[in-house]
Amino acid sequence: MSRLAHGGLIDRSRPLAFKFAGKSYAGYAGDTLASALIANDVKIVGRSFKYHRPRGIMTAGSEEPNALVALRSGARHEPNTRATMVELFDGLEAFGQNAFPSLGFDAMAVNQLLSRFIGAGFYYKTFMWPKAFWELLYEPVVRNSAGIGIAGAEPDPDHYEKVTAYCDVLVIGAGAAGLTAALTAARAGARVIIADEDHLPGGRLNSENVVIGGHDGAQYAKAAIAELSSLPKVRVLTRTTVFGIYDDTYAAVERVGDHLAVPEAFKPRQKLWRIIPKRTILAAGAISQPIVFPGNDRPGVMLAQGLQTYINRYAVTPGQHVAFFASNDAAWTVAFEAAKAGIDVAAIIDPRPEIRADLAAEAKVRGLRTLLGAVVEQAHGSTLKAISVRGSQGTERIAVDALAVSGGHSPNIQLACHHRGRPDWNEVKGALLVSEPPPGMAIAGAAAGHFAISACVASGVETGTKAAVDCGYSVAKAPVLACSGHSADGSAFFHVKTQKGFAFVDLQTDVTVKDINIAVREGFRSVEHLKRYTALGMGADQGKLSNLNGLAILAEKTGRTIQDTGTTIYRPPYTSVSFGALVGHHRGKDFRPTRLTPTHFWAKKLGAKFTETGAWLRAQYFPKPGEIDWLQTVQREVKAVRSSAGMIDVSTFGKIDLQGPDVGQFLDRVYVNTFSTLPVGKARYGVMLREDGMVMDDGTTARLSDAQWVMTTTTVNAVKVFSHLEYCLQVLWPDLDVRMASISEQWAQIALAGPNARKILQKIADEPGRVENAALPVMGATQTSVMGGIKARIFRLSFSGELGYEVAVPARYGEKLAEALVAAGEQFGITPYGTEALAMMRIEKGHVSGPELNGQTTVTDIGLGKMASKKKDYIGRTLAERPGLVDENRLGFVGIMPVNKKNVVRAGIHLLPLGAPATVENDLGYISSATQSATLGHAVGVGFLKGGPKRIGERLRAFDPLRGGDFEVEICSPHFYDPQGDRVRV
């Protein structure tokens, strides 16, 4: 066991059992999976991406490149989680990745021997030829060896939520700088959101020995969070990573239930936050910069900052004999803390030739061996066994089982660069810093290069004050907090120059110094080219540990400075975000709401089958017992309408109320035909175009009174037409006095059709005389009441071709109306029908619908050219007159009948000259809608044909290669049934 006897922010009274790679272990509440694995002496937790080298735990934070593990099994299986960020819970099951057959022995580790052949760019060079090998050989092998981790195959059973929040000040990171900034702004009264990725806020305060205002760091953090949580205008978000800036919106993911085996009841697994702050303070801290040397990926090599966290926060040590290889004072402090915790410190190796006197003195007092001006030349062992140190006295081998490294501090500036900002190299701080963050953002603490605790706190207070003042709050002057901590001075050190072994620059994508050499030699000298050629920084860790070393080495090889070499572009997300969080509730049936018609439950009781039209669920047909298929049902429904009476809910049509003295004039401008002449009490069918001359929508508009009109649109275009009309009124013709409102939801509308329709309607109308043939002729509209005082609008319209009415009542009476019609029509055998019968009857009548109004047809194409007025301007008129759109060889609207009446006509069939081969050149057109007509007893279709109605009477070849079908058809008028329209006038 590597658990220290004392200390740590863990709860030793709450042991937790967990499994890793099939073996059972124990940890404590407060542990991460990583700290618990270290406590159990588990050294190898994963295999590397390309060379399958054994890898251990490198860090204690979200920058971890190595310790990627899979969690849980079954539907909640989740690959590529960082063991350093996984909170331990009882029963946690974790697995190593990228290893076959086991973590200890991996067959693919043979790749290391092939390394001279699979260096940078090997994909581009190797898999080029012969071409035939690609599908047969290369692709299966490449796919099998690519990637890290395997995604679960079952649907995710958990819920994910999205939240939008507004605040004055968003503070990112709850370390010393973030907490002081948040407190300063919150005390001034500002609305503050503070987010931290850890479950325990405090950042490095929980890992380092510092004093703020008389409290030790962890105590200060606890008190600060308690105060913030007590303020009503402050929201503290723990386990929350702010991962990107999208314009002025900050995106964050809160892991609400990730630390539990199963999320709590009624709680989501994760929440996606969209935070819109007025000011932002980035206090994301800094991480230790790794050093590149051969064997720097051996399990046991760890960043100094990570080691400090494991010792102080988790009371574990990754080794019993630890050496330090660092170029800054902070790492010396860690060495002293390790010694104090009873760990054997084998040596402190510092490339700097001189060191501060007090550090040297303390090392001497503690009896620690120090090697100045020295470097670690190589790390040995499949898990770390020894290091070779090259100093002024030559090279020696020191036996260690852990090595803490730090080449400096690397500020977490990623978010500050999400607006394509580029950081500058600051030689004094040895760090990339951002001087121009996105608008409204200030950077505080170590993220701004303030590595010492006093400077860190001061910058928190300063940025918090400025943010609050910017938001209009006044900030009382507070006494300066006395801080004490260790020195953070040092000089950046990137790379040990040697020709030996594998020296890794990017541990996640297995990029070595040799790969950078190859890239430079082959001319990839731009940092963006280097990234793409070698995959440097392209792993899931976004190169947090590798980018700076990579560009420092590139700078050295190309004889440029780091500043001149530049960085790659920083892009969201800061850390990986699950698809679940991004999708939220928008999946399956929740992707969009399902709209139900006013008669939905009535239809359901009658056993209707439903279909989706747009967002609506409409009755498709009403099967009766004994009917063998939908066609039999639909044909019965159609015959009933044609012989007696039927009814269908048409409430889904868009309904728009238009009022004002100029409505007639307005309609003249949006419809191709004239409406201003329409008398009160009449309705008219109209066609609307887009400005490019194509048909946009059709429907009827009725004039209810001198200044009130009601328009219907097709179901699917209801929203589009409404916004189009608003555009026309507000942008094109604001001088017209017209007001409009959508009343689609307010009115239920049922179409009643058939020779007996009037008799049935008269039974429910309060004034039966109002619907007499003379009182309400074809295309008439009247406002009356039905069912004993329920206001109603009755329109004499027919889509079926039979005597027909549409009856509209307030939506809440829709079901009552349906029941009343069924009761009134019982003696006539009234038959409820669905969208299939509706479609069959409209094809029999040759009416156009969605398949014909497909955005590529003009009003002439659909056979309604005569409707278009020549006397007025309307939307689309000018461009509809373009030569290409009036060409008489355009596809025109026709009817299609099979010569052999047994043939089934289907939408999508193409038409060719008889006997002509099926080539694109011979194509004459296609069938857009087709049905097995109940009325005619055979299939009919409508469609578009070159030359249009001129070809009526011709015989053509109908060709359907996809579903099979090659037969002769005759072109006819699309009006198959009652072409004179006598039946609607009776």
Which residues make up the interface to another protein (CB under 8 A)?
164, 246-249, 274, 276, 419, 439, 691-692, 719, 723, 726-727, 730-732, 734, 873, 877-879, 881-882
| Contact indicator for 617, 604 with CB cutoff of 8 Å | no
Taking the complex as a whole, the smallest distance from the CB of residue 671 to another protein amounts, in Å, to 15
Question: Vertex 330, ends 423 and 457: CA angle to 5°?
Answer: 65
Taking the complex as a whole, the smallest distance from the CB of residue 882 to another protein amounts, in Å, to 7
Distance CA 348, CA 331 (A): 9
Distance CA 897, CA 904 (A): 10
Q: Which is nearer to another protein, 224 or 880 (CB)?
A: 880
The type of residue at 970 is E
Structure tokens of 616? 């609506």
Residue 729 per-residue DSSP state:
I
How is 88-157 classified by DSSP, letter by letter?
P-TTEEEE--S-SB-SSSBGGGGGGTTTTTSSTTHHHHHTTSSTTHIIIIIHHHHHHH-SSS----SPP-
For residue 747, the SS3 value is strand
Taking the complex as a whole, the smallest distance from the CB of residue 726 to another protein amounts, in Å, to 6
Q: Which is nearer to another protein, 211 or 719 (CB)?
A: 719
Q: Which is nearer to another protein, 276 or 361 (CB)?
A: 276
Q: Which is nearer to another protein, 259 or 419 (CB)?
A: 419
Q: Is the dihedral of CA 821, 827, 832, 836 positive or negative?
A: negative
Q: Which is nearer to another protein, 822 or 879 (CB)?
A: 879
Helix (H) or strand (E) holding 338: helix 329-340
Taking the complex as a whole, the smallest distance from the CB of residue 720 to another protein amounts, in Å, to 10
Q: Which is nearer to another protein, 734 or 829 (CB)?
A: 734
Pairing label, strands 646-649, 747-753: antiparallel
For residue 655, the SS3 value is strand
Taking the complex as a whole, the smallest distance from the CB of residue 892 to another protein amounts, in Å, to 23
Nearest residue to 21 (alpha-carbon basis) of 87, 75, 67, 84: 67
Taking the complex as a whole, the smallest distance from the CB of residue 246 to another protein amounts, in Å, to 8
Beta-carbon contacts of 483 under 8 Å, excluding residues fewer than 6 positions away, are 210, 211, 212, 213, 453, 454, 456, 457
Q: Which is nearer to another protein, 22 or 883 (CB)?
A: 883
Nearest residue to 335 (alpha-carbon basis) of 321, 323, 327, 320: 323
Q: Which is nearer to another protein, 734 or 769 (CB)?
A: 734
Taking the complex as a whole, the smallest distance from the CB of residue 876 to another protein amounts, in Å, to 9
Neighbours of 104 (CB within 10 A): 12
| Contact indicator for 940, 897 with CB cutoff of 8 Å | yes
Distance CA 177, CA 463 (A): 9
Taking the complex as a whole, the smallest distance from the CB of residue 936 to another protein amounts, in Å, to 42
Q: Which is nearer to another protein, 692 or 970 (CB)?
A: 692
Q: Which is nearer to another protein, 276 or 899 (CB)?
A: 276
Q: Which is nearer to another protein, 166 or 601 (CB)?
A: 166
- Cross-strand pairs, 164: 274
Q: Which is nearer to another protein, 626 or 884 (CB)?
A: 884
| Contact indicator for 155, 75 with CB cutoff of 8 Å | yes
Helix (H) or strand (E) holding 630: helix 630-643
Taking the complex as a whole, the smallest distance from the CB of residue 731 to another protein amounts, in Å, to 5
Taking the complex as a whole, the smallest distance from the CB of residue 693 to another protein amounts, in Å, to 9
**Residue located via tokens 């929508």:** 697
What's the residue count for the chain?
Answer: 986
Taking the complex as a whole, the smallest distance from the CB of residue 419 to another protein amounts, in Å, to 8
Taking the complex as a whole, the smallest distance from the CB of residue 948 to another protein amounts, in Å, to 24
Q: Which is nearer to another protein, 579 or 727 (CB)?
A: 727
Taking the complex as a whole, the smallest distance from the CB of residue 692 to another protein amounts, in Å, to 5
Helix (H) or strand (E) holding 628: none
| Contact indicator for 782, 793 with CB cutoff of 8 Å | yes
Taking the complex as a whole, the smallest distance from the CB of residue 420 to another protein amounts, in Å, to 9
Q: Which is nearer to another protein, 528 or 873 (CB)?
A: 873
In Å, the largest CA–CA distance within the chain is 117
Structure tokens of 712? 């219907």
Q: What share of the chain is helix, strand, coil (3-state, %, to 5)?
A: 25, 30, 45
Q: Which is nearer to another protein, 438 or 974 (CB)?
A: 438
Nearest residue to 337 (alpha-carbon basis) of 291, 289, 404, 384: 404
Distance CA 830, CA 760 (A): 9
Name the CA radius of gyration of the chain, rounded: 38
Nearest residue to 685 (alpha-carbon basis) of 847, 465, 874, 811: 847
For residue 792, the SS3 value is strand
488 burial via Cβ count (<10 Å: 0-12, 13-18, 19+): buried
Taking the complex as a whole, the smallest distance from the CB of residue 169 to another protein amounts, in Å, to 17
Q: Which is nearer to another protein, 249 or 705 (CB)?
A: 249
The type of residue at 313 is R
Taking the complex as a whole, the smallest distance from the CB of residue 252 to another protein amounts, in Å, to 16
Q: Which is nearer to another protein, 5 or 731 (CB)?
A: 731
Distance CA 291, CA 494 (A): 5
Distance CA 456, CA 459 (A): 5
Taking the complex as a whole, the smallest distance from the CB of residue 171 to another protein amounts, in Å, to 20
Torsion of CA 848, 854, 855, 856, to 10 degrees: -90
Q: Which is nearer to another protein, 61 or 437 (CB)?
A: 437
Taking the complex as a whole, the smallest distance from the CB of residue 669 to another protein amounts, in Å, to 10
Question: What is the Cα 655 distance to its own chain's centre?
Answer: 34
